[in-house]
Amino acid sequence: MRCRRCGVELLANTEVCRECGAEVIRPKSRAITLQEYEEMMKTNEKKTALVLGALTVIAIAAAVAAFVFGYAVCGIVALVQAMIFAAALVMELKLKEERFQGISSKLEIFGLALTVFVVGSFLLNSNTTDMIRKRYSWPVAGLAQNIVKPESEFGKIQTDTDDQFIMDVFAVSEDDYQEYAQQCFDAGYSVDYGAADHSMVAYNEKGIKLELYYDGDARRMNISLAAARHFAEIIWPDKGIGAMAPAPSSTIGEVVYNIEEAYCAYVAESSREDYLAYIEACKAHGFNQQISEWGDYFTANDENGNTIIVTYQGNNSFYVNVHTPQKS
């Protein structure tokens, strides 16, 4: 406090200024009335209640968003957070009851602490940026025109060429995936159809291969399209590494490569029964050691360590790969 005449700093409890001798007049504090105190408390309670109400609504909205985007853990924590804020709100409105004093403040602090976890987990997730910010543009031409456009607007196209189309679609529920798989089946992807709970593989009449995979934890669906192969007449080799494999009954296919160490080809116009018959021919041809066979896959070695791999590709075609022992 300073002297009202000369402005010098006054000592505590002094009654006369030491510089100019002026009498020190100190302001008298006024005790507030009980009515004023109650009105002040009511105002503070209303402000706190409004804040807690807003935090409860925000927490519920965050929980809904977390579940929509596939963050189950964040969604559960956000729901707990909403219940904590709601409980704090109820207790704040009953602060006149002594047993609730102090509990509301602790709940508010705990609820705000959970906010750090929810926001941090959501933002640090590798898929969050893609899901929130990226809305894909469906190609107007190319391989993607051969499938149904997904309903979700969120996604990322990984590859879009004449031979391949790959994309991830976000914010896809289990029901959304099953419905989309059915739409693809109805659209003609029913040749050599194979499906499990969260995956699907099939061809259409054009020979285009479709693969679907659904990740329920991330609520993400992967779509992969491969263009049809263009088969023509081939001549099975009568010398070199390719001659070690038996010639298939069909002469239609595609030679991928024919080099000294390996021969690789697709054989078309061959049913699954033709594929199984070819496997038996491979065994009779000497590939009858270290056999591994399951589903549409077969591999074996001959006595010299050469390896053959035969896989049924679907759409009436199978793949043959024969190669010499790998050198270390």
d(CA 101, CA 99) in angstroms, rounded, equals: 6
Q: Residue 244 belongs to what domain range? A: 232-323
Residue ending a domain, among 100, 125, 150, is: 125
Residues 144 and 222 both lie in one domain:
yes
Q: Quick one: 60 and 80 in the same domain? A: yes
How many domains does the chain fold into?
4
Residue 226 · residue 161 · CB < 8 Å: no
The answer on 319 and 291 residing in a single domain is yes
Q: Domain check: are 222 and 146 in the same one?
A: yes
Sign of the dihedral through C-alpha 129, 135, 141, 145 = positive
Q: In degrees rounded to 5, what are phi and psi of residue 5?
A: -100, -55
Q: What is the mean pLDDT of residues 206-235?
A: 92
Query: Are 197 and 253 in a shared domain?
Result: no
- Integer Cα distance of 52 and 270 in angstroms: 69
Is 3 in contact with 19 (CB distance < 8 Å)? yes
Does some domain include residue 78?
yes
Q: Is pLDDT of 254 > 70? A: yes
Backbone phi and psi for residue 255, each to the nearest 5 degrees, phi listed first: -85, 120
pTM value is: 0.56
- Considering the domain architecture, whether residues 236 and 319 belong to the same structural domain is answered as yes
Residue where a domain terminates, one of 165, 196, 226: 226
Domain contains 294: yes
Domain membership of residue 36 (yes or no) is no
Mean pLDDT of the chain: 83
CA distances from 93 to 36, 44, 50, 320 (A): 19, 11, 11, 76
- Do residues 66 and 92 both lie within one domain? yes
| 130 domain-assigned | no
Token match 């969604």: residue? Answer: 75
Instruction: Give percent helix, percent strand, percent coil of the chain, each to the nearest 5.
Output: 35, 25, 40
Domain-terminating residue out of 71, 101, 125: 125
Length of the chain: 328
Say if 131 falls within a structural domain: no
Do 291 and 307 share a domain, yes or no?
yes
Q: What is the DSSP letter of 64?
A: H
Is position 62 within any domain? yes
pLDDT in tens, 121-154: 655 554 554 445 578 899 988 899 999 999 998 9
70 in the same domain as 11: no
Q: How confident is the model at residue 63 (pLDDT cuts 50, 70, 90)?
A: confident
The token duo for 1 is 């406090």
Of the pLDDT bands very low, low, confident and very high (cuts 50, 70, 90), residue 238 is very high
CATH of residue 175: 3.30.310
Question: Can you tell me whether residue 8 is helix, strand or coil?
Answer: coil
> How sure is the predictor about 159, in pLDDT bands with cuts at 50, 70 and 90?
very high
Same domain? For 179 and 142 the reply is: yes
- As given in the structure block, the two tokens for residue 173 are 């529920």
Q: 244 and 314 share a domain?
A: yes
